[in-house]
Amino acid sequence: MSLYIGEALVGEGNEVAHIDLLIGDKTGPVGTAFSNALCSQTAGHSNLLAVLEPNLAVKPATVMITKVTIKGAKQAVQMFGPAQYAVAKAVADSVEEGVIPKDQAEDLVIVCGVFIHWEASDDKKIFEYNYEATKLSIARAMKNEPSVDEMIAKKGAAAHPFSGV
């Protein structure tokens, strides 16, 4: 398969993490999306590589895209600090744990959409929630979860926390 899709919502309050991600081959549609994300920077949407520390990018190479407009230095530092480290650590741990096969880490890329609320204030929670959400998204993507049958079985009782319904 050349395209895996994962999603997870973890946490609460303004630090809530919502991750949407794509995992796929560098030569496929995810590779194209990865390249476009790095080459398509716009005001308030600075896409960045996930790194464990400067000069130590993760494998599979992972680009983080902002899901909301970054509205100031505080929010930018949260994206380039606790959120970046959380995503990078989740990717690295997923490879180490075999969720992403180590022998595929050089051939795959990840596009990871990250949400940082403009009123988020607790960097520790930003890290924890984004780490958990990224790990869960990766695991779901690699297992093709939820299955179609699970989605159909649960749709009647589904209650979206932000739907207002």
For 68-92, give the DSSP string.
S---SHHHHHHIIIIIHHHHHHHHH
Which candidate in 18, 45, 117, 160 is catalytic? Answer: 18
Q: Distance between CA atoms of 118 and 127, rounded to whole angstroms?
A: 15
Q: Which two tokens stand for residue 146?
A: 């939820």
- CA dist 33 and 28 (Å) reads 9
How far, in Å, CA of 29 to CA of 35, rounded? Answer: 10
Q: Is 18 a catalytic residue?
A: yes
Return the bridge partners of 128, or none. none
Signed CA dihedral, 40, 74, 16, 51: sign only: positive
Strand pairing partners for 22?
5, 111
For 9, the token pair is 């919502």
The CA distance from 147 to 143, in Å, is 9
Positions marked catalytic: 18
